[in-house]
Amino acid sequence: MKKRVITAWGAAIVIFLVLMIVTPTIPQSQAYHDFADQRSFFGIPNALNVVSNFPFLIIGLVGLVLCYYPDDYFRLSLRGEKLGWTCFFVGVAAVAFGSSYYHLHPDDARLVWDRLPMTIAFTSIMAIFVIERIDEHKGTYSIVPLLLAGLVSILYWRFFDDLRPYALVQFVPCIVIPLMAILLPPMYTHSTYWLWAAGFYLLAKVEEAADKPIYSWTHHILSGHSLKHLCAAMVPVFLTLMLAKRTVQTERISLYKTWKISWKGSEEESLECTYSNVAVEETR
């Protein structure tokens, strides 16, 4: 098992190095800091972009409390599961502070503290998924390396002004987790909550890209970036609901197979015909 884990990590490192060689550098654009909504309220600069981070603190603290009290409310039984979810909720709660600090005066130096807690959340959720869907031992051993990979991606961007490693850390989970949620059989029920979380994160990225158009469409009431914070906060909300509702799956069937069975069932029902007896009047 150790040889396979080392081989997997070795292959990942080789692929990463090849990508770094064949792709151009991605510097941080300074236009990124030019947000649509720069209004101040009650002496708070960029107020709505700052205040809209508050939900991250609430859901992060709620998740942390329920991980340990009362007597592990989420019933986390797999090895490394509690550590993984603890790292995730710590990262979520820290987003409230890091993102608020950045939006008070947006620049590259402060952007580090915005991205670092998000990276903790991204990498820990990848480890959690490996624990649940592939192997709890491999997933547990991957928590620290994944967290370190996220930290290195932030440092690499800051010192070399190259976003490629950070882009991998952020977007690989966005692709891999929904695919794994659909194709790999879950250990727990309520697996569709992963897809709801992924959907809200995708919506958040769209709102982030459309920051200024949304600000114009809403007649300068809300910007896309403020809405992005609120939608992104729905990701840990859905995952927390999933943890609270789920139970151990009695029969492990992937969502793909479940959907396939339901589709076949609906097709068979549509082909069923019922016949009624019709009285025929004889002609003389």
Number of domains in the chain: 1
On whether residue 229 sits in a domain, the answer given is: yes
Whether 264 shows a pLDDT value over 50: the answer reads yes
On whether residue 35 sits in a domain, the answer given is yes
**pLDDT tens digits for range 69-98:** 877 899 898 999 999 999 999 999 999 999
Q: What is the pLDDT of residues 126-153, one digit of tens each?
A: 999 999 988 898 899 899 999 999 999 9
Quote the pLDDT of residue 283: 46
Of all residues in the chain, the percent with pLDDT exceeding 90 is 63
Q: Look at 249 and 201; give whichever has higher pLDDT.
A: 201
Residue 159 clears pLDDT 80, i.e. is over it: yes
Which pair of tokens denotes residue 88?
């995730």
pLDDT at 168 over 50: yes
Task: Give the pLDDT band of residue 104 (cuts 50, 70, 90).
Answer: very high
The answer to whether position 191 is within a domain reads yes
pLDDT of residue 5: 60
The reported pLDDT for the residue numbered 10 is: 76
CATH of the domain at 125: 1.20.1070
Is the pTM higher than 0.85? The answer reads yes
Q: What is the pLDDT of residue 278?
A: 46
Mean pLDDT of 41-63: 96
Distance CA 208, CA 87 (A): 25
Quote the mean pLDDT of the chain.
88
| Average pLDDT of the residues in 106-135 | 94
More confidently predicted of 213 and 284: 213
| pLDDT at residue 160, rounded to an integer | 94
Give the pLDDT band (50/70/90) at residue 276.
very low
pLDDT reported for residue 234? 97
**Residue 231 within a domain:** yes
Instruction: Print the domain residue range for 146.
Output: 2-271
Query: Between the ranges 14-28, 45-59, 71-85, 135-149, where is the mean pLDDT highest?
Result: 45-59
* 201 is a domain residue: yes
Give domain status of residue 224, yes or no: yes
Decide if pLDDT at 22 tops 90.
Answer: no
Asked, for residue 284, whether it belongs to a domain, the answer is: no
- Give tens-digit pLDDT for 208-261: 999 999 999 999 999 999 999 999 999 999 999 999 999 988 888 888 888 887
Q: Is residue 237 part of a domain?
A: yes
* pLDDT confidence of residue 265: 66
Give mean pLDDT, residues 36-51: 96
